Amino acid sequence: MKRLDDYRMRLGRHELVPIMIGGMGVDISSSDLALEAARLGGVGHISDAMVKTVTDRRYKTKFVKAKQAQYKYNVDSQDKSPVKFNLEHLAEATRLHVEGTMARKQGSGLIFINCMEKLTMNGPRETLRVRLAAALDAGIDGITLAAGLHLGSFALMEDHPRFRDAKLGIIVSSLRALQLFLKKNSRLNRLPDYVVVEGPLAGGHLGFGMDWANYDLATIVAEIMAYLKQEGLADIAVIPAGGIFTGSDAVRFMEAGAAGVQVATRFTVTRECGLPDEIKQEYFKAEETDIEVNEISPTGYPMRMIKSSPGIGDGIRPNCEAYGYLLDANGKCAYITAYNREVDAHPEERRVSVMDKTCLCTHMRNFEIWTCGHKTYRLKETTLRQPDGSWQLLSAAHVFQDYQFSTDGQIRLPEPAAT
């Protein structure tokens, strides 16, 4: 009976335990969580989503306040196009987050940063260029390009001295997306080191339409591996993600030729995860029928979440003066459009309800959109129930090692917490 620990993931000169903890935006995949993965010989991710908010919280900076003060005059305006990011602050925040994490790294594993293209930040190219360069400057081991096709992202890094030495990968959900990426970047003579193939059961935004249930991760992985082999590109590590809940689920992908697996949901209920503890209990509590994929994210991608997320239907005034991470190249966001429509339709109401879109910046910042993987309803199988009815939080090391060493689809329960 094989276990995940019988395999190693090779990325350049690194030999890793083939477990990658996926990026989870706005500090859910915290530095502490990523550091545990690296300490145990795998790969951890931090995320640069809303990085200024993250450093304000973690490093006592005042970036959000500074932006809010600069654009205070615009709060009542429906036109958010003047609200630009200060690129120096953005670089400084990214550097702080990355340096602060890398300085604490121990063990033989690696730490990558998850960088979402859909965070268009009212200036997609220049803000992405700054985020990528600052992460490389600050010594990140690798960058995972997420939430977007990233057709121009390698070119944005091309002149960086670490472009060929840092590990670079992309998340795709179809062979077609990978083919486009490879074609667009062929002139750079720089292949991705790894490709995360994310299937329809993942958390966060999905690279599928609302017909996500018609797709199957194993089939997409097989197609991508066959293509890479045929093109002589089999050195690119293929890393499946989405719904891999046990070590045995992972072994099935390793036997089929995967280099490693990316997992996330099981780590949302660890002490190191950045979600507040009371929200971790909501993840434990969720039943399969409590989880939905909907279209309320202004990014245009479907997103999976717990139906009782307080951010769903909430009609808060857009706060792009402070945040504004989803403003597109023209300073527009689908939430602003939906919000203004509701305000115009209900001029007498003090607080409108907006059902079709959500203010993702505000609600992710406040942990009010509880995005999660499809298998969240199984989290209660992974721990013990306490006398007060709550579930015992786990350590990231426990979950990591359960993936690493378990066989037969089994899940090891934690030692009971001392009372």
Stretch in the footprint of ligand FMN (CB under 6 A) among 24-32, 36-44, 81-89, 349-357: 24-32
Q: Of these, 195, 201, 296, 312, which contacts ligand FMN (CB under 6 A)?
A: 201
Tell me how many degrees the CA angle 26-30-36 measures, rounded to the nearest 5.
155
Interaction residues for ligand FMN, span 44-73 (CB under 6 A): 47, 49
SS3 361: helix
Evaluate the CA torsion angle 30, 33, 36, 42 in order and state its sign: negative
* Contact between 120 and ligand FMN per CB under 6 A: no
Residue 25: phi and psi, rounded to 5, are: -60, 155
* Contact between 203 and ligand FMN per CB under 6 A: yes
State CA 134 to chain mean position distance: 19
Let me know: does 386 contact 366? Beta carbons within 8 Å: no
Name the residue among 262, 256, 214 with its Cα closest to residue 45. Answer: 262
* Contact between 27 and ligand FMN per CB under 6 A: no
Starting at the edge strand found earlier in the chain, the sheet holding 291-294 runs 204-205, 303-306, 291-294
* Contact between 177 and ligand FMN per CB under 6 A: no
Let me know: does 97 contact 51? Beta carbons within 8 Å: yes
Mask for 121-150, x = binds ligand FMN (CB under 6 A): -------------------------xx---
Q: Which residue, 48 or 328, is less far from ligand FMN as judged by CB?
A: 48
Q: Of these, 372, 379, 393, 394, which contacts ligand FMN (CB under 6 A)?
A: 372
Binding residue count for ligand FMN, defined by CB under 6 A = 30
Nearest distance, CB of residue 264 and ligand FMN, angstroms = 4
Q: Of these, 23, 41, 192, 318, which contacts ligand FMN (CB under 6 A)?
A: 23
Q: Of these, 178, 182, 202, 303, which contacts ligand FMN (CB under 6 A)?
A: 202
Nearest distance, CB of residue 85 and ligand FMN, angstroms = 18
Q: Which residue shows structure tokens 């970047």?
A: 185
* Contact between 116 and ligand FMN per CB under 6 A: yes
Stretch in the footprint of ligand FMN (CB under 6 A) among 83-91, 248-256, 314-322, 367-375: 367-375
Nearest distance, CB of residue 243 and ligand FMN, angstroms = 5
What's the rounded Cα separation, in Å, for the pair 341 and 289?
Answer: 31
Beta strand ranges found along 183-297 (DSSP E) = 194-198, 204-205, 237-241, 261-263, 291-294
* Contact between 22 and ligand FMN per CB under 6 A: yes
Mask for 230-259, x = binds ligand FMN (CB under 6 A): -----------xxxx---------------
Q: Which residue, 89 or 150, is less far from ligand FMN as judged by CB?
A: 150
SS3 90: helix
Nearest distance, CB of residue 209 and ligand FMN, angstroms = 17
What's the rounded Cα separation, in Å, for the pair 143 and 140?
Answer: 7
Q: Which residue, 26 or 130, is less far from ligand FMN as judged by CB?
A: 26
SS3 226: helix
What's the rounded Cα separation, in Å, for the pair 292 and 392?
Answer: 25
Question: Strand 313-314 vs strand 353-354: parallel, antiparallel, or unpaired?
Answer: antiparallel
Nearest distance, CB of residue 54 and ligand FMN, angstroms = 12
What's the rounded Cα separation, in Å, for the pair 65 and 295?
Answer: 30
Binding residues for ligand FMN, per CB under 6 A? 22-25, 28, 47, 49, 114, 116, 146-147, 171, 198, 201-204, 241-244, 262-265, 268, 371-373, 375
